[in-house]
Chain A
């Protein structure tokens, strides 16, 4: 549900990091904040936590201006993963323009991944969004650990559904930017189809991606 104000020439896009508890959603945002160049990126806002567990959400904003003068703000949100915070998840998921699902690769967490994805589907339906029309990327995090679900198995399972899946270790910092880039690509295509970013605003896909996902040297 792209928020677009033609008179003000403003567009706000909302991307949500979803997933089971302790799968690394906040860590993903922290790494993005560290890895990406500062230009056009706002500060990471971590709302109050309890024992380092997210109870509200985290927010990492991006800001860019298209050649036409269209101001685009992109806000990355996390949701609390704990089951009891479902009302907060629903509130954050309102009007999302894309979702990253952060799964925990550990074999012991398979059931939690499943339950959380099920919860995502249910809540999307509740807030009036269709999961099959929403930009969606699945990240299997914690690939640096042992006792994890083999990549082949994951690709077989998710490949059939046609969902882009990215392997990552947010703690080590790899796969995080790739995940964001994969979602940003889908979101660009999604927005371009409706608001002609390239034709009407002169914003090329590569420019869009470069502005969002340029990594700091060294």
Chain B
């Protein structure tokens, strides 16, 4: 507004003018000459201060003042018309003077009117032009703003689309993992039933075999070398030898013992699977993270190379309110990541500690560590350093997702001693606003 006002101020109409601004010699002098030709000895136009502006004289002498007539501009006397003439001609000169004055006033009025018209016209044109420029400037400004907005909008949409895609991918991956877990748990449940009677039957079979062996022993001691039974004894001995029953008797207990051991192992694996997937506890609970870590390691047992060493530095931990299945998933992914870091000679140190406010779980391996430059990206979905096809790039992303949803943090670094160190911190008191589905 300020600029508009300043611009307007310069277009003022009707500024004060002097007589010489309005009429020129070219307009006045011919009239004065005509007056002289008509008989005046001298004609002059003076300004308000009495200075001569224009003057005409005849050769005739003997002059006499005929009268001074006021010339007015907007009601203000701005000059005088002075006429001198020969004696005796006053009357006719007065009439001519009146005529000349009217002519001058008409010229002044018309010129002023023309000047005012020009002034107002110019003022309006200038002002309209200034307003148009201002309007144009504002339009250009708003156009630029809308352009910028449109550009930003596109960027925002792209960002949001990318976020949505990532969230969708994470959800898909989690659902996949969850259904894999459910499948495993379901299978474990099915295996448990036949395993039950296998174990039970093996125990019974062991008892029965003991009894049979006892009976065989009884027969052998009862059938002696004396007289009547000697022939039977010899035949029985031959049969015993041919059936290699000494070997069978010695081995049978070992066979049953080994079968029992195998069934026991199957039972443990099934129990771990069930525990890991927490198929029995669907909702939130209070978990002992040390136990959950052990369970997770058991499930991964088949992936742990024979020469690998897993060291546990556990400290006693308070119960953590959480969904244990989700946290196990996170630990599973981190440990698995470490197992894949090195083919042989792996040493993984898992530590737990509670500092009162939260629980810290550390995973330190002696693998190749995190390559420089990728530190920021390893928690991004689909980011993988492994060969195409061998890694999904989802493991650490899912772990990150779960831990942050509990108000915790997960950090990865390459310590000076080599290898990679993953640190998960989980607050004991979950922040109110953090929602966990």
* Given A75-B14, A94-B13, A42 and B74 contact (CB-CB distance below 8 Å): yes
Q: Say what secondary structure dominates the interface of chain A.
A: mixed
Is there contact, CB below 8 Å, between A61 and B5?
Answer: no
Name B123's closest neighbour in chain A (CB-CB).
Answer: A91
Q: How far is the CB of A42 from chain B (nearest CB, A)?
A: 3
Q: Does A210 contact B (CB under 8 A)?
A: no
State the interface size on chain B (CB cutoff 8 A). Answer: 27
* Given A45-B112, A47-B117, A94 and B75 contact (CB-CB distance below 8 Å): no
Q: How far is the CB of A38 from chain B (nearest CB, A)?
A: 9
B interface residues, Cβ below 8 angstroms from A: 1, 4-5, 8-9, 11-14, 16, 72-76, 109, 112-113, 116-117, 120-121, 123-124, 127-128, 131
| Chain A residues whose C-beta falls within 8 Å of the C-beta of B121 in the assembled complex | 56
Is there contact, CB below 8 Å, between A45 and B113?
Answer: yes
Q: Which one of B75, B117, B127 contacts A91 once the chains associate, using CB atoms below 8 Å?
A: B127
* Given A45-B112, A48-B117, A126-B4, A95 and B12 contact (CB-CB distance below 8 Å): yes
A interface residues, Cβ below 8 angstroms from B: 3, 10, 12, 14, 40-43, 45, 47-48, 56-57, 59, 61-63, 71, 73, 75, 77, 87-88, 90-92, 94-95, 126-128
Is there contact, CB below 8 Å, between A47 and B9?
Answer: no
Is there contact, CB below 8 Å, between A73 and B9?
Answer: no
Q: Which one of A56, A62, A128 contacts B116 once the chains associate, using CB atoms below 8 Å?
A: A56
CA distance A94 to B120 in the complex (A): 12
| Chain B residues whose C-beta falls within 8 Å of the C-beta of A73 in the assembled complex | 16, 74-76
Q: Which one of A48, A56, A63, A88 contacts B74 once the chains associate, using CB atoms below 8 Å?
A: A63
Is there contact, CB below 8 Å, between A126 and B16?
Answer: no
23 cross-chain CB contacts under 8 A? A3-B16, A40-B75, A42-B75, A43-B75, A45-B109, A56-B117, A59-B14, A59-B74, A61-B75, A61-B76, A71-B76, A87-B127, A87-B128, A88-B120, A88-B124, A91-B124, A92-B120, A94-B8, A94-B11, A126-B1, A126-B4, A127-B8, A127-B9
Name A61's closest neighbour in chain B (CB-CB).
Answer: B74
CA distance A56 to B112 in the complex (A): 14
| Chain A residues whose C-beta falls within 8 Å of the C-beta of B1 in the assembled complex | 126
Q: Say what secondary structure dominates the interface of chain B.
A: helix
* Given A45-B113, A88-B120, A94 and B76 contact (CB-CB distance below 8 Å): no
Q: Which one of A47, A48, A56, A90 contacts B127 once the chains associate, using CB atoms below 8 Å?
A: A90
Known A-B contacts: A41-B75, A92-B120. Give 4 more (CB < 8 A). A71-B76, A73-B16, A75-B14, A92-B13
CA distance A42 to B350 in the complex (A): 108
Q: How far is the CB of B181 from chain A (nearest CB, A)?
A: 74
| Chain B residues whose C-beta falls within 8 Å of the C-beta of A90 in the assembled complex | 8, 127
Name B78's closest neighbour in chain A (CB-CB).
Answer: A63
Name the 8 nearest CB pairs between A and B, nearest first: A42-B75, A61-B74, A63-B75, A91-B123, A63-B76, A42-B74, A87-B124, A94-B12
| Chain A residues whose C-beta falls within 8 Å of the C-beta of B14 in the assembled complex | 14, 59, 75, 77
| Chain B residues whose C-beta falls within 8 Å of the C-beta of A3 in the assembled complex | 16
CA distance A43 to B74 in the complex (A): 7
Q: How far is the CB of B389 from chain A (nearest CB, A)?
A: 74
Name A128's closest neighbour in chain B (CB-CB).
Answer: B5
CA distance A71 to B13 in the complex (A): 20
CA distance A59 to B16 in the complex (A): 13
| Chain A residues whose C-beta falls within 8 Å of the C-beta of B123 in the assembled complex | 91
CA distance A59 to B113 in the complex (A): 10
CA distance A75 to B131 in the complex (A): 27
| Chain A residues whose C-beta falls within 8 Å of the C-beta of B116 in the assembled complex | 45, 47, 56-57, 59
| Chain A residues whose C-beta falls within 8 Å of the C-beta of B120 in the assembled complex | 47, 56-57, 88, 91-92
Q: Which one of B5, B74, B128 contacts A126 once the chains associate, using CB atoms below 8 Å?
A: B5
Most buried by A among B1, B11, B116, B124: B124
Q: How far is the CB of A83 from chain B (nearest CB, A)?
A: 15
Name B112's closest neighbour in chain A (CB-CB).
Answer: A45
| Chain A residues whose C-beta falls within 8 Å of the C-beta of B8 in the assembled complex | 90, 94, 126-127
CA distance A127 to B170 in the complex (A): 64
Name A87's closest neighbour in chain B (CB-CB).
Answer: B124
| Chain B residues whose C-beta falls within 8 Å of the C-beta of A95 in the assembled complex | 12
| Chain B residues whose C-beta falls within 8 Å of the C-beta of A127 in the assembled complex | 5, 8-9
Q: How far is the CB of B228 from chain A (nearest CB, A)?
A: 144
